[in-house]
Amino acid sequence: MIVIAVANQKGGVGKTTTAINVGTALAATGLRVLLLDLDPQGNASTGLGIGHSQREFSTYDLLIGDTSLEEAAVATRIPRLDIVPATVDLSGAEIELIEFDARTHRLDRSVRSGGDRWDVVLIDCPPSLGLLTINAMVASHALLVPLQCEFFALEGLSQLLTTVERIRGRFNPGLSILGVVLTMYDRRNRLTDQVSDDVRAVLGRVVFDTVIPRNVRLSEAPSHGVPALIYDHRCAGSQAYIALAREVIGRMPSAAEAA
Ligand code: ADP
Ligand code: MG
């Protein structure tokens, strides 16, 4: 089992869209995928059509209670794609976690209990570098970082990378960066090209070849409770996520060895 956190402390950069659609594309290749919705907003859960009545257990219970992954996971409409949904309780978890001695390792402990039921665990992180994201980084082999092509993109990234260094030094020496994916790419916008060139010049091969275009189908799909890959598998956004998932698979073995 390989654990990948989709993380960036900025909101609205495409974390949830990436987690849902990469998860769906990986499941389509035959891998058994579990998505952990670690954002109190619960967008990944809603985007996969998980109603509130299906949220008996949530990632809150993984962090604060003794609920196992197996108890908390619910099936989605996508074969081989399960989810542990988020509930609003999660917004209080950050404070409640402070009470625990092992406050940084609560999610790690739950994920380790998952055994062999899933091949890939994808964690959809909230837009902060607080204890929820730290729990995700401690539990993960690798990070998948969506980066929106905008002016301060690199500044935000350096803050993220500093946190990754700290997590490596203190808790999880094997944590690697699986890759950075440029999202909401708009070819007609010269700033996008400029930012993309800068990011590739600074970060090099860690940046995935695949870029995710700005695509209205990607933003429409969540309100239908299905991944874009199901809503319209032919749209440019879906095709980009299929290509990204292929690159993710190509990078996974080395990420697993590193951990
Ligand atoms: P995050 O999880 O980082 O906050 P989201 O994945 O929720 O970001 O994306 C933020 C908003 O932008 C959502 O409304 C989503 O539907 C939309 N969105 C995400 N990626 C794209 C894209 N490539 N093209 C167009 N809209 C997108
Ligand atoms: Mg999100």
- Gap from CA of 66 to ligand 1 centroid (Å): 33
**The pLDDT of residue 164:** 97
Which of 255, 25, 22 lies closest to 140, judged by CA? 255
List pLDDT tens digits, range 34-51.
Answer: 999 999 999 999 999 999
Q: Is 204 left (phi over 0), alpha (psi -120 to 50) or beta?
A: left
Asked if the model's pLDDT at residue 124 lies above 90, the reply is yes
Separation of CA 171 and ligand 2 centre (Å):
25
Query: Best mutation site among 8, 13, 17 for ligand 1, i.e. most ligand atoms within 8 A of its Cβ?
Result: 17
Average pLDDT, the chain: 94
User: Helices (DSSP H) in 7-150: which residue ranges?
Assistant: 15-28, 43-47, 59-64, 69-72, 90-96, 106-112, 131-139
- CATH classification of 2-258, choosing from 3.20.10.10, 3.40.50.300, 3.40.47.10, 3.40.50.12780? 3.40.50.300
pLDDT tens track for 169-226:
999 999 999 999 999 999 888 888 888 999 999 999 999 999 999 999 999 999 999 9
CB 40 within 8 A of CB 126: yes
> Which ligand places an atom closest to the C-alpha of 218?
1
Please report, as a single letter, which amino acid is at residue 116.
D
Nearest ligand by distance to the CA of 223: 1
Ligand 1 neighbours by CB, cut-off 6 Å: 11-17, 43, 127, 183-184, 212, 214-215, 218-219, 222, 237
pLDDT value, residue 254:
59
Tell me which ligand sits closest to the C-alpha of residue 228: 1
Grade residue 259 by pLDDT with cuts at 50, 70 and 90.
very low
Dihedral sign (CA 75, 81, 82, 87): negative
Q: How many helices (H) and strands (E) does the chain have?
A: 12, 7
With CA atoms as reference, report the closest residue to 230 among 16, 3, 27.
27
Burial 211-250 (b: 16+ CB within 10 A, else e): bbbbbeebeebbeebbbbbbbbbebebbbbbbbbbebbee
Ligand 1 centroid – CA 98 distance (Å): 31
Which whole number is the average pLDDT over 2-22?
97
Task: Name the 3-class secondary structure at 223.
Answer: helix
Predicted confidence (pLDDT) per residue in 66-88, tens digit: 999 999 999 999 999 999 999 99
pTM of the complete model: 0.96
